[in-house]
Amino acid sequence: MAKYLIEAGYSHEGLKGLVKEGGSGRRNAVEAAVKSLGGHLDAFYFGFGESDIYAIVDAPDNVSVVAFALAVGATGTTGHYKTIALLTPEEVDQAAKKAAGASYRGSGH
């Protein structure tokens, strides 16, 4: 499974729901939704600033992560939503090895 960092900010309606259900209620809802798509919620935090929620999710594939984003977005409870694919150091090692053998010429070279 791949890991993804999800950042989201609540809309006005989303904040009303947070006040009503509390932080644990929102974490439980995210956890259930991720699980229903074959994934696992690794971490869930609230923060100050532009984003209200930070979650790390294990998901079987990109399609599952997009399905989750669509489900969340369709509720209208987020003002913004962003997904970032997370790579392990070993995955970057693999990419570096492939890059070493790739033939690319930069502009002007």
Write the pLDDT tens digit of every residue in 37-91. Answer: 999 999 999 999 899 999 999 999 999 999 999 999 999 999 999 999 999 999 9
- At residue 102, the pLDDT reads 80
- At residue 37, the pLDDT reads 96
CATH fold of 2-100: Alpha-Beta Plaits (3.30.70)
Dist. CA 56–CA 51, nearest whole Å: 14
Residue 43 is encoded by which pair of tokens? Answer: 């971490």
Place of tokens 């990109």: 62
- At residue 101, the pLDDT reads 79
Sketch the domain layout of the chain as residue ranges. Answer: 2-100
Write the pLDDT tens digit of every residue in 16-28. Answer: 999 999 999 999 9
Give this prediction's pTM: 0.87
